[in-house]
Amino acid sequence: MKRSQQEQIRNAVKFGHTELPDEQQGALRKAIKIEWITIAFLTASTLLVYLVLGNSQAMKAAWVEDMLSLLPPISFLIAARAIRKQPSEEHPYGFHRAVGVAHVVAAVALTVMGAYLIVDSAIVLVTVEHPTIGGFDFFGQTIWLGWVMIGAMVLTALPPVYLGRVKLKLAEQLHDKVLYADADMNKADWMTALAAAVGVAGIGIGWWWADAVAALGISASILHDGVRNTKASVSALMDRRARTYDDTAPHPVAKRLDEYLKGLDWATDARSRIRDEGHVFHVESFIVPVEGRMPSLDQLERARLACVELDWKIQDMVLVPVSALPPELLPGVPAPGGERA
């Protein structure tokens, strides 16, 4: 092997022992960079909001939301390092499930904090607490602190919208659900900022309840994100069939695999069972040979390699010749939760 080829292999970006195509290599590097930028921005915005927090319940909820927004990017960066480890005897499937673990941690934290904030905001509303916002002296002029709060919310609202849009594209390219959850939170940040600003403005015009109502809205948004992501992350760890990066539908690679395998001249039928390991898939394909004749080792190996070439996410591929397909893989058979195969 030429030296340049050796260097290229050594320097290749990998997920475990899965080498990434050029497009995914670039997407991974960009995702890592954008997550560091996100952490820097959120650190600054969290500090800014804390400094102007005052007695506003809505500002408190926005501040907590900013802190929670740090969880997905941190989880992504930790997982991005963990998944590079090579599979071992103790971890024969590699460390790709680190992505799923990170997803669960971030989702549960969102759920718990969202529930806490809803209770806390509801107590303020029920007990009819009237928040007050004072002022400060600025070169002999008294400035209402509420204007500073609203200004802080406007400043922190715009960057996450851009960051969220970038991450959505990268999440699709990398099949990364942690990155998608992070992007989803970023896209919703402007609503959090708007709600907090409305709550502060409500205090200014004498609507004491507007602050608590705005805080409830922010808390409900946090809880909604948490519950949705918890459901998706736990289902993935329980080996639900592989779905798209946004969990909206079964992943299309299964259909492509089955169509290819059914088209082999020595096969009559085939169905694949796909386990989503985080970024990559572990695939078990069951094939019914023609007239029950066992395919040769060479036929099986060529079919396996062709399947691996269909999609970079297919990390491990197992072909199993069977006399009949497993019933649970046949179309129309109900799966747990009412989903059909």
Compute the half-sphere exposure of residue 129: CA atoms within 13 Å on the CB side of its CA.
Answer: 15
Maximum average pLDDT range among 134-138, 198-202, 231-235: 231-235
N- to C-terminal Cα distance for the chain? 45
Asked whether residue 8 carries a pLDDT value surpassing 50, the answer given is no
Q: Given pLDDT bands bounded at 50, 70 and 90, which one contains residue 5? A: very low
Which tokens is 144 given? 């209402």
Which three-class secondary structure state does DSSP give residue 296? coil
DSSP 67-130: HHTTHHHHHHHHHHHHTTSPP-SS-TT-STTHHHHHHHHHHHHHHHHHHHHHHHHHHHHHTT--
Domains of the chain: 3-237 (1.20.1510.10), 253-336 (3.30.300.30)
pLDDT at site 86? 79
pLDDT band at 229 (very low <50, low <70, confident <90, very high): confident
Looking at per-residue pLDDT, the higher value among 286 and 119 belongs to 286
Which amino acid is located at 17 in the chain? H
Total number of residues shown for the chain: 341
Using the predicted structure, report yes or no on whether residue 337 has a pLDDT greater than 60: no
- The answer, as to whether pTM is greater than 0.85, is no
Least confident of 134-138, 179-183, 220-224, 297-301: 134-138
Identify the residue with better confidence: 83 or 26.
26
pLDDT exceeds 80 at position 194:
no
13: left (phi over 0), alpha (psi -120 to 50) or beta: beta
Q: How confident is the model at residue 117 (pLDDT cuts 50, 70, 90)?
A: confident
Mean pLDDT, all residues of the chain:
80
